[in-house]
Structure 1
Amino acid sequence: MSLFWSLWIMFLIVLNLGITLFLFLWAPRAKIPVRADGTSGHVWAHGVLREGVRPLPIWWVVLSASMFAIGFAYLALFPGFGSYKGILGWTAHGELAEHVAENNAKADQLLTRFRLYTPEQLSADPAAQHIGERLYRDNCAACHGRQGKGNVALGAPDLTDNDWLYGGDGKTITTSIHDGRQGVMPPWNSLGEDNVRNLAQYVLSLSDSPHDAAKAEAAKPLFATCAACHGPDGKGIQALGAPNLTDKIWLHGGTVADIEHSIGEGQHGQMPAWSPRLNDDQIHILAAYVLHLSHQDHDS
């Protein structure tokens, strides 16, 4: 704080306290003219109500004096009087640092225990779930939703359905969070609009969804191009992050228009790496919480 602002704050404090202290000391001694009956002469309701003049109650005087004493003591003990640091030398930064250190000491006890277990084991631990939920809401909920149901518009998968692009074991989930993922579906509009439409019908047929059987049959030979990633049976290849096309779970939407768009224009999804933001212990707990989300129905 500059000298000017320090002096300005000190001036305002002295001015306000000085005025209020003067009024406090002067008011009990002020002489107010009164009539013989002890009233000021102010009347209401045609004389039914009259204003009386009485000394201030002792409790009010004592309470007000106590507030002044507390105020002066506060200014002496704590910072607030300009740049004066106070007798105690207290600062908000110092108190925060103490609380952080205290919290870290408590957290280290839990983390030491958590390191002994796999994400699968931790997924059922209430303490790990509590910490994992906070980590999830702070870092993951923006894309995957507060309840982990995903977001089709963002291409963020549902984490509660136990359907995994890259695998659903603790080690793979940890890798996904730590390193991130890059998912690329190349555009196939070079096949022509009719073939794209036919392929969309064939993809729908893989999951027994309503489809045009004739168009699906016409596109069956074309699916050999897709099988390199999605597999000949359309069940996907997790090593590539290619989704299963047979389970009626759609990352970018499952309408005919959505599927045609995905085939024709392609898709590009990105899961950012969280290792620059979260440490290994936090990622370990977060992976356990994601596993918990995908097994809630089973756990309950």
Structure 2
Amino acid sequence: MSAGWSLWVMFLVVLNMGITLFLFLWGPRAKIPTLPDGTSGHVWAHGVLREGVRKLPRWWVVFSTSMFVVAFAYLYLFPGFGSHKGALNWTAHGELARNVAANDTKLVPLMERFRMYPVEQLASDPAALQMGKVLFEDNCAACHQRGAKGNVVLGAPDLGDNDWLYGGTGNDIITSIHDGRRGVMPPWASLGADNVKNLAQYVLSLSGSPHDAAKAAAGKPMFATCAACHGAEGKGNPALGAPNLTDHIWLHGGSVANIEKTIGEGRQGQMPAWSPRLSDDQIHMIAAYVYHLSHDADASSQ
């Protein structure tokens, strides 16, 4: 802290505490004119309510005095009065370092145990899941939501349905978190508006969703263009992140309007790489938690 800022902080502290202390000492001794009945003469509700004048209760005076003592003691012991470091030499950085060290002491043996197991096995460890859940909520919930149900607007997939764009093994999930993913669905507006609508109906037919059979038949030949990524049967391609079109899971919404927009305008989605922010151990924990979510939902549906 520069000398100028230090003096400014000291001035503000002295000013505020000085005014407060003055009012505290002067208030009980202030002479307030009163009427014979002990009121100030201020009335409301046509005289029904009258303002009384009483001395401050003793407990309030004692309590307030103790608070001033605590305040002065705090400014002596801890930093707060300009650049004064405090008699205890306490700092926020030092407190954080001590807390981190204490936390690491507890985490080290846990992490050593967790590293011994693959994601699939770690997904049944309650301690690992508890840690993974906290890390997920801190880092992933902004897009995937706290319940990992995804976000159609952002194109963030539901992580609890066991439907995977890039594969659902433990190593696949680790790779997605560590390196990130980038998916691109090119726009096909050049096919023409009618062909886009026909193709959308054919895509709906692949999953058995309600559709216009005539338009779907007209759109089927054009699906050959899409098969390069989604496969001839529309089953998707994990190597490219091309979704399976034969199920009822839609990354950007499964309405006719949403599908037509996806085909006509294309889509772009990016899963950022978390390796710059998270350690390999933390990524391992999140992967185990995500794996647990999908397979827990899978087991509960059987």
- Judge conservation of contact 2:137–2:146 (CA < 8 Å) in 1: yes
Unpaired runs of 5+ residues, structure 2, are 40-51
1:264 is aligned with what amino acid? Answer: G
Could you state the TM-score of these two structures normalised by the residue count of structure 2?
0.80
Identify the residue that residue 264 of structure 1 maps to in structure 2. Answer: 264
Identify the residue that residue 281 of structure 1 maps to in structure 2. Answer: 281
| Structure having the higher Rg | 1
Identify the residue that residue 253 of structure 1 maps to in structure 2. Answer: 253
Identify the residue that residue 48 of structure 1 maps to in structure 2. Answer: none
Distance in 1, matches of 2:269 and 2:15, equals 63
Q: Is 4-13 or 161-170 further displaced after alignment? A: 4-13
> Alpha carbon RMSD of aligned pairs, Å?
3.3
Could you state the TM-score of these two structures normalised by the residue count of structure 1?
0.81
Superposed displacement of residue 2, structure 1: 3.5
Q: Is 61-70 or 249-258 further displaced after alignment? A: 61-70
Distance in 2, matches of 1:2 and 1:179, equals 43
- Judge conservation of contact 2:162–2:298 (CA < 8 Å) in 1: no
1:183 aligns with 2:183: yes
Give secondary structure in 2 for the equivalent of 1:184: strand
Superposed displacement of residue 247, structure 1: 0.5
Distance in 1, matches of 2:255 and 2:54, equals 83
Give secondary structure in 2 for the equivalent of 1:101: helix
1:43 aligns with 2:37: yes
Superposed displacement of residue 283, structure 1: 0.8
Identify the residue that residue 148 of structure 1 maps to in structure 2. Answer: 148
Identify the residue that residue 138 of structure 2 maps to in structure 1. Answer: 138
Distance in 1, matches of 2:26 and 2:197, equals 91
Residue identity over aligned pairs, in percent, reads: 69
Superposed displacement of residue 86, structure 1: 2.3
1:43 is aligned with what amino acid? Answer: D
1:208 aligns with 2:208: yes
Distance in 1, matches of 2:266 and 2:22, equals 78
- Judge conservation of contact 2:186–2:267 (CA < 8 Å) in 1: yes
Identify if the C-alpha distance between structure 1 residues 44 and 215 changes in structure 2 by more than 3 Å, giving closer, same or farther.
same
Superposed displacement of residue 177, structure 1: 0.8
Distance in 2, matches of 1:153 and 1:27, equals 60
1:278 is aligned with what amino acid? Answer: L
- Judge conservation of contact 2:38–2:53 (CA < 8 Å) in 1: no
Superposed displacement of residue 13, structure 1: 5.5
Identify the residue that residue 296 of structure 2 maps to in structure 1. Answer: 296
- Judge conservation of contact 2:120–2:170 (CA < 8 Å) in 1: yes
1:94 is aligned with what amino acid? Answer: G
Identify if the C-alpha distance between structure 1 residues 19 and 121 changes in structure 2 by more than 3 Å, giving closer, same or farther.
same
Q: How many residues matched? A: 287
Unpaired runs of 5+ residues, structure 1, are 33-39, 46-50
| 1:83-115 C-alpha deviation (Å, 9 max, x unpaired) | 222222111221122112211222222211111
Distance in 1, matches of 2:219 and 2:26, equals 98
